[in-house]
Structure 1
């Protein structure tokens, strides 16, 4: 799972996704991968009125022409930058609900990572508590990198990997290390605990020793803090250490691992990119 050769970037051509595109371009350039840029046209289906169906078909055709022109302009802009002129870029237009077309493209194009901009200006709060992005995270079997509205590209010089010592976390960390190598990042493996006791100490030391044995990366540190809420503790750590990327693994059908009623206001964390890895798929992968 460590190789990133095919990247999918869904776009609605908004200013938000345009800024997120910079992240996709830079990662594709760093890993020498192919970048697939897609747009979904959500069709207004009507099965009762033939004349309305014909009208919808015409509207859809017109929209497709508009999107093709937008793609042409976007490709000209990208390839006009000397940094990206050698990139392998493909574009596609799909019809249907965005979540389903994104997931279908992921399978069809053998995608290794989805990179997408979060909707609106509510940053992680929007991503975590209800959006197209959140649904893609829930359903995707590949990593999803989410760029909040205010995110501005900079190298991932400081990455925090939040772990709860689940079965797939070592595989997830191996993926993150490969990403860190691309940018020569400092990698912080972070865990939060309810209380300090022998069991928590054994788990902390055991995971650290296992990582040291299985993963070769010098610029890595391990940290542990007391906290009642895993997610909030991780986000606090991001703020304190000026982290450029927060990485989490999700295992449950629902995401995030924190009920809405227990959440504090998180809009001021909106500049932090979030990479979510699919824990179930990682846990089922043989080591």
Structure 2
């Protein structure tokens, strides 16, 4: 892991994400790309005009750089390479373009409590990033004085198309020396026996040589409640799930699932795109 992207609007929530990024950067010698997007109505610009040439754009760029100057004074960023970036784009597109251009390894985003998380995952900029990003996205909700991932819940339906996301999860677990808790949630509407579920999980992880894991079959009313309740029981440091566009995120985040899992999860969530 070499590059971490932290989108910022200079809010307290963005600062929480930056603090987590700083801890990861110090431990693993990463560079932080601190990105602020100026989402200006580009379609209204005169043809041939660059956004940075407009007086309003120049004003907001100067304002952003002043805010960057204050951010870079934070003690927790000492001895870390931080590259400030200001760009003109629709925000989610700008984040994704930056990831591709700079070969970012991990996006770290903050969120606004329960209401903010609900907004984050239903129709907002961050929802678009989570749904479409090929780069793993770590959503941070709370302040973490010491960000560690000792117990990492990887929740899945353990279908073969998720195998690549498990490889990404294993890489993260190796980096943090984490124990992965493979979790399959049984629900009344989609029940499978313990024996069948275990065979499915063993087939899924075949070929991976990561041995620090547990296999867990958990029964609950819904998938999201099962993930929340199991994560609470083991006091997990991180919840990981797979997404593949609208289909993948619908499985976990639409409707009550987004409200129950993400809004009410008092712990970070990381998504891996299939």
Residue 198 of structure 2 is aligned with which of 196, 204, 211? 204
1:184, distance to aligned residue in structure 2 (A): 2.4
The aligned counterpart of 2:272 is: 277
1:14, distance to aligned residue in structure 2 (A): 0.5
- What's the TM-score, normalizing by structure 2? 0.84
Contact 1:120 1:126 in 2 (8 A): no
The aligned counterpart of 1:39 is: 36
Residue 143 of structure 1 is aligned with which of 110, 113, 136? 136
1:97 maps onto 2:90 in alignment? yes
In 2, the alpha carbon distance for the partners of 1:38 and 1:105 equals: 9
1:10 maps onto 2:7 in alignment? yes
In 1, the alpha carbon distance for the partners of 2:87 and 2:195 equals: 50
Contact 1:37 1:89 in 2 (8 A): yes
In 1, the alpha carbon distance for the partners of 2:31 and 2:5 equals: 9
1:62 maps onto 2:59 in alignment? yes
In 2, the alpha carbon distance for the partners of 1:105 and 1:37 equals: 11
Q: 1:182 to 1:229 in 2, by over 3 A?
A: same
1:168-183 mapped onto 2 (5 Å cutoff): 168-183=161-176
Q: 1:69 to 1:263 in 2, by over 3 A?
A: closer
Secondary structure at 1:70's aligned position in 2?
A: helix
Contact 2:218 2:230 in 1 (8 A): no
1:237 maps onto 2:230 in alignment? yes
Q: 1:218 to 1:265 in 2, by over 3 A?
A: closer
Q: 1:143 to 1:232 in 2, by over 3 A?
A: same
In 2, the alpha carbon distance for the partners of 1:210 and 1:233 equals: 20
Contact 1:248 1:277 in 2 (8 A): yes
* 1:51-74 deviation line (CA, Å, top 9, x unaligned): xx99x9212211111111221222
Contact 2:159 2:204 in 1 (8 A): no
Contact 1:10 1:102 in 2 (8 A): yes
- What's the TM-score, normalizing by structure 1? 0.80
The aligned counterpart of 1:285 is: none
In 2, the alpha carbon distance for the partners of 1:72 and 1:262 equals: 39
1:228, distance to aligned residue in structure 2 (A): 4.8
* 1:236-269 deviation line (CA, Å, top 9, x unaligned): 2222221111000012425241541677656762
1:76 maps onto 2:73 in alignment? yes
In 1, the alpha carbon distance for the partners of 2:105 and 2:38 equals: 23
Q: 1:47 to 1:219 in 2, by over 3 A?
A: closer
* 1:107-166 deviation line (CA, Å, top 9, x unaligned): 111112111112454264333333211111111111111112x34353112110001112
Give the gaps of 5 or more residues in structure 1: 280-287
Name the Cα RMSD after superposition: 2.9
Give the gaps of 5 or more residues in structure 2: none
Contact 1:41 1:94 in 2 (8 A): yes
In 2, the alpha carbon distance for the partners of 1:48 and 1:34 equals: 34
